[in-house]
Every structure is written in structure tokens, then in C-alpha cells.
A and B are shown apart, each in its own frame.
Chain A
Amino acid sequence: MNVSIILIILLFGALATYFAGDKLAKTVALVISLASFVASVAILNQHNAGISSDFIYKWISNPNIYLASKVDGLAIAMMLLTTALTTIIVWSSFANQFKNAKGFYALVLFMSFAMVGTFVSADAFLYYIFWELALIPIYFIALVWGNGDVEERKRAIVKFFIYTLAGSLFMLTAFIYLFSKAGSLLIDELYLLRLTEQEQFWIFGAFFLAYAIKIPIFPFHTWQANTYQLSPSVGTMLLSGIMLKMGLYSVIRWQLPLAPLAAKTYMNIFLVLSIIGVVYGSIVALKQHNLKKLLAYSSLAHVGLIAAGAYTLSLDGLRGAVLQMIAHGFVVVGLFFAAEIIERRLNTQEIAQMGGIRILDTKFASMFMIVMVASVGLPGTFNFIGEFSLLYSLYNVDIWYAVIGGTTIILGAVYMLKMFQNVMLGEANAKPFAAITLQESLVFVIIIAVLLFFGLYPKPINDLITPALQEIVAKINRV
């Protein structure tokens, strides 16, 4: 069995969902996404047993393009993250009533398909197609099913679409250049290229524009807050939980090993930008009135730290980055789900209109609280492991990077506790708040279980990703 099975499940699953009709769509989507997760676990088992799950087919002979995959531990981890989160996200939306549900859920699965494709592709052309393909469903999900004023939404979502697309074009240019040098776009052949420092500089820069916008890295983040706010929660979760990891993953898979000289020469620039994002995102989050926007800026801060870890070019940094990508994926989905639960009941995202929810629903309050303390990296949660490795890797570059990046543990507590106080604590609001349903709490339970289990025992993920990352570090250090 090779990894294409997951792509096939998701692609045909998207079609099946569409043809299942509005009534059945969400159930079918759930079954399909769950099947893709189970298949990913099977691939994991195969990998652990030492059997390759790769595929390679000749696609176009001139130019020389393959349908090829590279399923190492890193790709498997990202694939597991994508399929697990897609399942959770689909399930979290069961209480929602979407117009044209069949289209909606088909797009969700299609997006998952494209994202998995991005993570496993080993041919730059295929990778690029998946990369761009992932943008289309989220564009429609946000535009058609989003909330808020239609004109405002259109402006924000179109901006997001064109902005990220424009960034990607630079990456395409880089790939065309690389193809002209290597005569192939297979990643392993591109790794073999001996590029001059000058060439690497331009390629690194072109990649950076694509990834910095996607991740996003300060100051390329301006699409983020509005898009998160105006997308339906499912869209926000897909974007923040998985899609932004495409950018971070690509830094590790493509940017650093393809242009290691440039990475080493200019790493401080990118470290500084990433760390500015950490502090800047945290500070802007302090004064947000909209819950989803606040979470968007907190996400900016968190991914800034992840990106910084990756740009340390060290094993600790890369490993911390991957661990934190996974932890952040779960935590951010949990946070946006909490926002969604509140929005379902109070019909608002404005923090000023919330408050006193804890009295009305202590169970929800407890679960929200656990996810929140995970997001501020409390030891014992998964997020601490990543944050610890990341900050340690920064320390090994320069103590000031660790200190300034580390302010996230203070500022994160400031804006998160303030948010929690204003949203959940205080006297009961006059507005009714229906108790959290069993289905909603189960979504939380799964997320919390993941965060706590890997917080105590991250070894399985460690063992999975470390060999792949060691290989990448070796490639970065090959010159």
C-alpha cells in the first residue's frame, strides 16, 4: 500500500460527499476523513515496519515531471496531523446547519486532499500544484459560508487569496530556475544541485515570500486576522490548524535544504523577523475586542516562534518546530472551537458581549481552561515540549533570542488570562447559555487527551520525526 491511497480516499470522498446530498454530506465527510486518518495510521505502521509507502510514476516526459512522493517520518507526522484534524474539524461542525452542505463538506475534504498532497509530494511541480490547489477550497469556504458583512468579507478574502497566490508565484519562478539547472524537479535531484551563493540567495528569497505570507511571518500577516474573523469556524480551523503548517513544513522540506548557504548567511534576518512576530502578535492581541481576531494574533505569535526555531537550522530547533506545529494544530482548533461554541449560543464574537459563562456552564469552562493553559505552554501539556525545545534552540544561537522570544510565555499569559476573565468569569450574564452538548464535549475531550498524552509522552512522535529531521539537518550542513 502506498500513500496515494489517502489522496484517493480524500479526492473520491469529496466527490462522494457532494453526491451524497445536503442531508448526508456531513456524515459521509466524517466517515471519509476518519477513513483517511485510519489509512494514515496504516501508513505509519508500514513505515515503522520499515516498508516504504512511496509511489513514483512518470507523468510528463517533456518537461520531465513525475508523480512522486517522499513519505518519511516528517511527512507522515504532517499527514497524521492533517487527517486527524480534518476529522475533528468536520465533527466539530455537526451542530452547524450549512446551506448547500454537500458543497461545503466536499470542499473541506478537497482541501484536506490538497494539503496531504503538499506534505507528501517529492516532485516540485506536483508539490506546487497541491500547494495552490489547497487555496481554492478555502477561498470558497470563507467567501460563501463566512460571516460578517458581505462586502467586508469579500474584500478580506479576495485580499487573502491574491496575496498568498502572489507570494507563491515567486516560488514557481524559483522552481522554473531550478528545473533549468537540474533538468528534473524531483526533490532528491534538486538537493544534489550545487548552487552558488548568489543563486541560493534568490531562491531562498523567492521561497521566503511564498512561505512568509502563508505562515504568516511578520510583516506579511495582514491577511490573517480578518480572514480568521470572517471565515466560518471550520475554515478558520483548517487555516490555522493545518494550512499555515504547509508554510512551516515547506521551510523545513524545501527552503532550508535547497538553499543552505543562503540560510546560514541570512539566518539572523529571518530569526529577527520571526521573533518580532512573536512579540508583535502578542502585543496586538492584548487589545483585541473580537475573540477570533485575538486568537488570530496569538496564532501569529506562536507560529513566529515555530518559524524562529526552524531558522536556527539546528536539530533541536527543527524538532521543536515540528512538535509545536502538531501541538499548535490541536490547541488552536480547540480554541477556535471554544469561540464557535460561544458564537453558537450568544451569536457574537465580541468579547464585550460575553462574560459570566463559567457560572452557567462549568464543564465548558473547565475544558476551555485546559485548552487555554495548553496554549500558554504550561508544562505537562504538549505545547510545553515544543516551546521548550524551540526556546532552547534559540538560546543556542543567542541568549537574547531566547529572552525576547520567551516573552511569549509572559505576554501569552497576559492576553489569554485577560480574554478568559472577560469571556468566562464574573457575574452571570443576562443572556442564556445552553449547556455544552455531549458531542461538543467529546470534541474537546479528544483534543485535550492528545495535548496531555503527548505532553507527558512525546516519545512516539519524537522517534517518528527525528530520523527525517536528522537527514534534513545533514543536508543543510552538507556545504
Chain B
Amino acid sequence: MSDIRPELRYAASHEWVRLEDDGTAYVGISDHAQDAMGDLVFVELPEIGQQLEAGDDAGVVESVKAASDIYAPVAGEIVAINEALEDTPELVNQDPYGDGWLFRIRVSDKADLDELLSAGEYQEQLDSED
């Protein structure tokens, strides 16, 4: 059973988003996604200052099994990336909702978040994939 946090929004492509008070949002991949990928060996992140539309390629996570694209779940400007992942990509496996966050984005339009899945909807998606 994978861990789904009720306070987060989710993309169908398995990224999570946590909106902060300052209008920026943390983005990572879900517990289900890290478990399906297996042990990560490499994470490629966007550049700080990069402008992304929702659905744009925002990086790559690579495990011994596969490489998988990360998509920006909302539009905005990248304001921070998790530099620790360069040497310790395993943080994504160990703590996908905490120390394993990928990047922080200044959200252009908060209404974008309403387009994403709630925890309950994301759970339904995972159930239907089984």
C-alpha cells in the first residue's frame, strides 16, 4: 500500500505539489512512483529561472530499471532545485514527500492546482491501474 498524503495535489503522471504561503510550490514524485521506479541512481532537475508550462518536461529520474520524465504539474518559474539529489538521489526513495522533493516553482496561476487530482482521486487512479 503506498503512502498518499491528503494535504497534497497530484498529477496523473505521479508528481505531487505542495503550495506554500508565499505562492511557490514544492514538487516531487509520489511514494507510488518512487516504489515503481525502484532505487534511483540519477536525478536531472530543471534550471533555476526556467519558465515552464504545465506538462512541460522538467527533468528525469533514473533507476536501474528505467529512466522516466518528470513533468511540471503547474506553470511557473523554477525558483529552487533540490541540489542534495545530485549526490544522494536515494533521498527520493527514502522520503519522497520530504527531503526527496525535486524543485520549487513560483506558480503563475493558482487555479492550475484545481486541475490536479486530490488525494482521493489519485488513489482511485492507482486502484484502476492495478
Partners in one complex: no
